[in-house]
Amino acid sequence: MTFLAVAFVTFFFCLIAVPALMGLAEFFCLFAVVQERESQVFLLFGRVVGVLSEPGLHFLPLKIGPQSLLIRFFGGVRKVDMRIDQEYLRSQPVNSEEGTPMGIGVWYEMAVSDPVEYLFRNTDPRGSLRANVRNAAVRCLSNMPLQSLLEDRHSMSHRVRDEVSPKSIAWGYQLGSVYIRKVHFRDQQMIQQIEQKVVNRLRQVTSAIRQQGANQVAIIRSGAERTAAKEFAHAAAVRPYLVGKAIQEIAADREILNAVFEILETEKMLHGDVALTVIPPDKDGLLKRLLAAEEPAQSQVPPLPAAS
């Protein structure tokens, strides 16, 4: 029975009493827990009596003194988010040195560096920083040459950052990176003219490339034809010499010469437009006479046309 009573009291103490006591101690500012990238500002009678920026557990009577017990009744605790934040301002209107209306997009990041200045120096530090960046971008980047606006974004970013940083520090903000993210034309008619110029330029470049290719093909073709004509002429020039030399070599042997002439005559007969009759060897010549008797008309010579 005693064991159950002790267990119940311990359970009640750990589950309810300890959290209740910790809550009361935190309410009366006996301690404070500061999260990462967070600051707590303690106010008493309208004055700042303590600022905690280091993350961890802090005992306020040791940090602030016994007056910490009065903070909940005659003051308050303000928590400030110290994390890095970012913002993007689209199409800020500027004019180039040539009078061209341009739009500039500015991206920047910032974080609270002084929580007291952030809370009490300006009622809307974020809005003021936004307006300051917008004014600095218009003031620093107006009347720049158009080519510099389109190409030199690194120096433009530095100019805006140098212009804004002193004022942002006075408001408790630390300005981080500033980047000119986009530069564009604001006049729609000018955009259409530039697009038309780009299209025309692309057409000219395409036509020039096509013409250059055609010229290269024509040069290669004419060179090939010239080389071929030269080789053909050389072959035609050396052909009689080579044929004569071959016939001279063949004529050295009488049998080979007769065989060549016989082959040439046979090929000429085969390719000619005449009827051929193959006759086997006949000693008496009887077969020849019979064939001649069957086709007397074919063997006759055609009559000559009559003289007019």
Q: Among candidates 84, 106, 105, which has minimal Cα distance to 37?
A: 84
The full set of domain ranges for the chain reads: 23-80, 84-186
pLDDT digits (tens, 9 = 90+) for 45-65: 889 999 998 999 999 888 888
Residue tagged 């990176």 (tokens): 177
pLDDT digits (tens, 9 = 90+) for 133-146: 999 988 888 888 88
Residue 308 pLDDT level (bands cut at 50, 70, 90):
very low
Backbone angles phi, psi at 162, to 5 degrees: -65, -30
Average pLDDT over residues 190-199: 88
Does pTM top 0.85 for this prediction?
A: no
Residues 137 and 158: their CA atoms lie apart, in Å, by 11
Residues 177 and 241: their CA atoms lie apart, in Å, by 88
Where does 84-186 sit in CATH, by number? 3.30.479.30
Average pLDDT over residues 180-197: 87
- Residue with the bigger pLDDT between 119 and 294: it is 119
Are residues 181 and 134 in contact, defined by beta-carbon separation less than 8 angstroms? Answer: no
CA atoms within 13 A on the CB side of 267: 6
pLDDT tops 80 at residue 68: yes
- DSSP H/E element including 46: none
Structure tokens at 261: 């002439």
